[in-house]
Amino acid sequence: MKISNRYLIWSDYENGSSKNSFFLFFKEVFFIAKPNNSQMINDDIKFSKVRLIDASGEMVGVVSIEQAREAAAEADLDLVCISPNPENPVCKVMDYGKFLFEQGKREKEAKKKQKETETKEIGIKLTTDVHDIEVKQRSVIKFLKNGDRVKINIRFRGREMAYQQQGFAVMEKFAEGIEEYGQVDKQPKIEGRNMVMYLVPKKN
């Protein structure tokens, strides 16, 4: 498998956990990514004709695979099959090493963001007094400032299920008290004997 080597060094150890790993060097940044075994590139592409997109993103049209490979070679880049549909395969001229680096970087950032964002839960009662509501709101504001998502939960006990409208009013009032720091992500709704509402940090 031929890949532009300006950003890429191939390492294939016979034993150990590093077998079949890509070591990517891009703008003096070191990054490790697993190869995408399902991605067809360069000589791995077996279609006789492909719809070609050039390095600038312009649609060239349907060309022979030889012409597509030649276009990639002239640009000193790789030919990557981005849509392996047998009836209409689409290939793009690009730097595959750079593509892998940026893809891995995006995945890493997404995982980091997912890990950092937590959903906190605050329970309030249908008959909670004003002071207790303010205490709960301060806790929620603290979570929102930390970037967390907050679930507000009202548990209906016994005959309280007949006072759902009061529950909606409590939720609305609660959300108004934190609107400087957060906003409603999911409107209040009934889940069994609970009413839940989700708050997220306010977008700038």
Residues sharing a CB contact under 8 Å with residue 59, sequence separation 6 or more, in sequence order: 51, 52, 53
Same fold, 8-113 and 118-201: no
Q: How far apart are CA 24 and CA 202, in angstroms?
A: 38
Domain ranges of the chain: 8-113, 118-201
- Alpha-carbon gap, residue 110 to 68, rounded angstroms: 33
CB-based contact 82:121 (threshold 8 Å):
no
Which tokens sit at 181? 């720091």
202, containing H or E segment: none
Question: What's residue 111's pLDDT?
Answer: 77
| Domain 8-113 fold | Ubiquitin-like (UB roll) (3.10.20)
- 142 token code pair: 């603290």
In this prediction, residues 119-134 reach a mean pLDDT of 90
Residue 161 confidence (pLDDT) above 60: yes
Choice between 32 and 194, residue whose per-residue pLDDT is larger: 194
Residue 196 near residue 185 (C-beta atoms within 8 A): no
What pLDDT digit, counting tens, does each position of 39-88 carry? 889 999 999 999 999 999 999 999 999 999 999 999 999 999 989 888 88
Relative to beta strand 90-94, strand 49-53 is: parallel
Q: What is the pLDDT of residue 114?
A: 64
* pLDDT higher than threshold 90 for residue 27: no
Rounded Cα distance between 36 and 115, Å, is 24
For 12-26, 85-99, 180-194, which range has the lowest pLDDT when averaged over its residues? Answer: 12-26
Tens of pLDDT, residues 86-115: 888 999 999 998 888 988 888 888 777 665
Instruction: Specify which of 6-10, 17-21, 66-70 reaches the highest per-range mean pLDDT.
Output: 66-70
Please give the residue that has the higher pLDDT: either 11 or 103: 103
The CATH number for 118-201, chosen from 3.60.140.10, 3.30.110.10, 3.40.640.10, 3.40.50.2300, is 3.30.110.10
